[in-house]
Amino acid sequence: MSRLIRKNIKLNPEVYAILQKYKDSIHDFASKKRVPMSWNEFFMIIVSDWECSRSKCHCGKFFDCDHCRLLDEIVRRR
């Protein structure tokens, strides 16, 4: 088993405020605030969504990237 090394990152207060806002929005969407969400869980949700070609709109809804959808359609047609 590989050993995990914790890293501390320093954020600008404005960046932290934006991340906190997104964390609250995603937490509300993901669990309706029934279960506490850690920062690790927050970043895992963000990373996994981008790995799956998904992003979060400013209105709070998830949508697939138009470019990735087009590429998927091209692959299906070949």
Q: Does residue 46 contact residue 53 with C-beta atoms inside 8 Å?
A: no
Supply the pTM of this predicted model: 0.49
When comparing pLDDT for 49 and 24, which is higher? 24
pLDDT of residue 36: 79
Hey, is 55 helix, strand or coil?
strand
Q: Identify the helix (H) or strand (E) that includes residue 68.
A: helix 66-77
> Confidence class of residue 21 from pLDDT cuts 50, 70 and 90?
confident
Reported as a pLDDT band with limits 50, 70 and 90, residue 73 is confident
Instruction: State the average pLDDT for the chain.
Output: 76
